[in-house]
Structure 1
Amino acid sequence: MVVYSPGRANLIGEHTDYNDGFVLPFAIKRYVKIEIEPSKKFKIFSHQLKKGIEFDTPTKTNSWADYVIGMVQKLREHGYEVKPFTMNIDSDLPMGAGLSSSAALEVGVGYAISQMMEFEIDREELAKIAHECEVDFVGVRCGIMDQYAVALSKENHALFIDTMTREYKYVPLRLDDTKLYLINSGVKHELGSSEYNKRRHECELALQALRKSSFREVTLEDIEKIQDPVLKKRALHVVTENERVLKTLSALEDDNLVLVGKYLYESHYSLKDNYEVSCEEIDFLIEKLREYSNVLGARIVGAGFGGSIIALVKGNFESIFEKISEAYRIKFGILPTLLNVDTSNGVFRAL
């Protein structure tokens, strides 16, 4: 049996998913491919890493295999009798580019197991189990966005998620003569994961300072009362980013892609100045993109400190990208890569 599990891009709503906020991701036509069949013991092989592992009982290894082992463990905790299997994993999702290859693997593994063993697991439950795997087993305190996007997405739509209530709805992406692109900067600064957890903690401290339990209760007037300048900036990003997601939602419903682009740029500058998760290389690319009027908007995506930019572009972009790419290479000695982003359905089984 073969299963394809998509990566995801996030149009807008960055660092809001673990703050009870709004997000607007969509799945992309880049996949983790999983082949599974029954076996006498658990055997996993990654074609990308050219590494394999065998085990009888699911125990943590602190390696890539934990995304698979953790799903076996979590499914069992939820009462599903997971029997041994052989699994081959391949992918055309670039790792470390902010496209959520980890959630694609978790959701894909869970879906492949449930299909092969005929478990009755709906997609929402599958996403929640995959999220538990990442948080409890792998140990990354992420929000629910990635797993929901991988499990629940629909082609030609974005997925609007209220991460506090976990309610979601499909939002048509009528792009017409505009296209979405991802630009991989080719850099990933090491402080990414440590700073991610630090930002989470700073958000918690900001709420404590305001004596609030959720950012959904926080207004711009409240933020002015925060004494600590760093905590004030973090809170300002979360509250204004939530507003930008809702404004983007309205702009998409009105087919106003120029306005969507404006909100993307605003999101980037908030991530740069208030949340402080951008970097020199990403900012250079953003400023170069701003020189071209047919680039409607762009922003850093993912945890930050490198990774990728999402750009909304009207008309031809390849020639513009060549010029920007050359300027970037001259300055940083790195060639960025361009990924044309097409929307995808959530995880599915090959027929």
Structure 2
Amino acid sequence: MNTLLIGRLNTHFLEKFGDRPLLVFSPGRINIIGEHTDYNNGFVFPAAIDKGIVAASQKSEVKVSKVIALDLNEAFEFSLQNIHPIKNGNWKNYVLGVIAEIQKTGRQLGNFNLIFGGDIPKGAGLSSSAALENSIVFSLNILFDLDLTKNEMIHISQLAEHNYVGVKCGIMDQYASMYGQKNKGMLLDCKTLVATQIPINFTNHELLLINTNVKHSLAESAYNNRREVCENVAALLNIDSLRDATEINLNSIRDQISEEDFQKPLYVIQENNRVQNAFQALKKGDIATLGNLIYESHHGLENQYMVSCDELNFLVNQAKKHPQVIGSRMMGGGFGGCTLNIIEKTFVHTFKEKMLEEFNKNFHTTCSFYTVELSEGTHVIQQ
């Protein structure tokens, strides 16, 4: 956890408001395998990480609430009696959305001051939005004794994103950020919200994220389009979601849909199977099989679901050239962001040098590297 960030928030809050704040840490997340399966009620394999959002908060006696985004040096005052989305509100809508969803439950909030900051790299696909939402709902739950369960809190976070930000996200990001356990990943069933935690110790390997530092503009419209295709195919199959589909089911309607619209749900069905196989491989300590499944996942994201991009494909193809990298794939919504790599610890330095050189040669820009540790979920660090 970032002690410098915690110190900055503590100091800033004391200077600004004169109170010792409640401090809450809410982590970002990685997803080892299981991409675009969560909103299809499928299986995912995420883990909370040691980078995240820290929120400093306290009740206020004045008639408005104030939230400060420390990293952006932006402040926002509002009345709890007049909560609504703001056009081009960016981070403010995440805050307002959480407040609105709490108010819908009939619980009473009082005015508060809150300052947040984070160390999640921007645009890396590590779910800074879910970390922010969770940090706010978790803080307000404590400040105002709202008696919300963790499950209620993650649904408030998810609905805030749906209704105030306009992104119809699944539940994985909020769940992983809230329920993460140190040095563990989780097999999460997004239909039942039952998760099985499993220790992750790669021994001689480690997780390395490589950020393309690009975000292609297709991302949001493409995400909504793919969700729509999946829902339409589920309706054709007369099932609630693709979670309940098999390849045999899907083949029965192949002549009713385009080839492109066939490949997308086929990817989802196959990815659900890969997630469960990856969990079994990890239980046995078989990281070679896990690595192969991760490569297969990327192939499906690139060629069937079509959410990858040249930069991501380049990084994965370069990784394949090195036997010390046992698995690599794009992670997150797609069209930019990071690849996740499982790599021999002794090869990390050499690999970084090679990737920097090759990436720069091909795209005339630089990529960034992050090593992450698996972290505890959203929790209080100072009360």
Question: What TM-score results when the alignment is normalised by the length of structure 1?
Answer: 0.97
Q: Does 1:350 align with 2:375?
A: no
Residue 295 of structure 2: SS of its match in structure 1?
Answer: helix
Q: In the alignment, which residue of structure 1 is the partner of 2:304? A: 274
Q: Output the CA distance in 2 between the equivalents of 1:147 and 1:87.
A: 20
Q: In the alignment, which residue of structure 1 is the partner of 2:370? A: 339
Q: Output the CA distance in 2 between the equivalents of 1:69 and 1:174.
A: 39
Of 61, 70, 75 in structure 1, the residue corresponding to residue 86 of structure 2 is 61
Q: How does 1:103-122 map to 2 (within 5 A)?
A: 103-122=130-149
Q: How does 1:34-53 map to 2 (within 5 A)?
A: 34-39=55-60, 40=62, 41-53=64-76
> What is the one-letter code of the residue matched to 2:275?
V
Residue 124 of structure 2: SS of its match in structure 1?
Answer: coil
Q: How does 1:269-308 map to 2 (within 5 A)?
A: 269-308=299-338
Deviation string for 1:48-101 (max 9, x for gaps)?
222111111322113111111111111111122111111111111112110000
Of 45, 50, 62 in structure 2, the residue corresponding to residue 24 of structure 1 is 45
Q: How does 1:199-348 map to 2 (within 5 A)?
A: 199-225=226-252, 226-227=254-255, 228-316=258-346, 317-348=348-379
Residue 15 of structure 1: SS of its match in structure 2?
Answer: coil
**Structure 1 stretches (4+) deviating beyond 6 angstroms?**
none
Of 198, 201, 221 in structure 2, the residue corresponding to residue 194 of structure 1 is 221
User: Is residue 124–residue 152 contact of structure 1 (8 Å, CA) maintained in 2?
Assistant: no
Q: In the alignment, which residue of structure 1 is the partner of 2:11? A: none
C-alpha deviation, 1:182, in angstroms: 1.1
Q: Output the CA distance in 2 between the equivalents of 1:160 and 1:79.
A: 33
User: Is residue 123–residue 213 contact of structure 2 (8 Å, CA) maintained in 1?
Assistant: no
Percent identity over the alignment is: 33
C-alpha deviation, 1:306, in angstroms: 0.8
Q: Output the CA distance in 1 between the equivalents of 2:270 and 2:286.
A: 20
Q: Output the CA distance in 1 between the equivalents of 2:349 and 2:205.
A: 13
Q: Output the CA distance in 1 between the equivalents of 2:260 and 2:225.
A: 12
Residue 231 of structure 1: SS of its match in structure 2?
Answer: helix
Q: In the alignment, which residue of structure 2 is the partner of 1:92? A: 119
> What is the one-letter code of the residue matched to 1:202?
V
Q: How does 1:6-21 map to 2 (within 5 A)?
A: 6-21=27-42
- Structure 1 residue runs without a partner (length 5+): none
Change over 3 Å in CA distance of 1:291–1:119 after alignment to 2: same
> What is the one-letter code of the residue matched to 2:155?
K
Question: What TM-score results when the alignment is normalised by the length of structure 2?
Answer: 0.89
Residue 267 of structure 1: SS of its match in structure 2?
Answer: helix
User: Is residue 57–residue 112 contact of structure 2 (8 Å, CA) maintained in 1?
Assistant: yes
User: Is residue 187–residue 306 contact of structure 1 (8 Å, CA) maintained in 2?
Assistant: yes
Q: Output the CA distance in 2 between the equivalents of 1:118 and 1:95.
A: 33
RMSD (Å), alpha carbons: 1.2
C-alpha deviation, 1:120, in angstroms: 1.8
Deviation string for 1:112-135 (max 9, x for gaps)?
111222332221221111111111
Q: Output the CA distance in 2 between the equivalents of 1:211 and 1:5.
A: 38
- Structure 2 residue runs without a partner (length 5+): 1-21
User: Is residue 205–residue 231 contact of structure 1 (8 Å, CA) maintained in 2?
Assistant: no
Number of paired residues?
351
> What is the one-letter code of the residue matched to 1:305?
F
Q: Does 1:123 align with 2:150?
A: yes
Residue 5 of structure 1: SS of its match in structure 2?
Answer: strand
> What is the one-letter code of the residue matched to 1:255?
G
Q: Output the CA distance in 2 between the equivalents of 1:107 and 1:212.
A: 31
Residue 330 of structure 1: SS of its match in structure 2?
Answer: helix
Q: Output the CA distance in 2 between the equivalents of 1:209 and 1:80.
A: 40
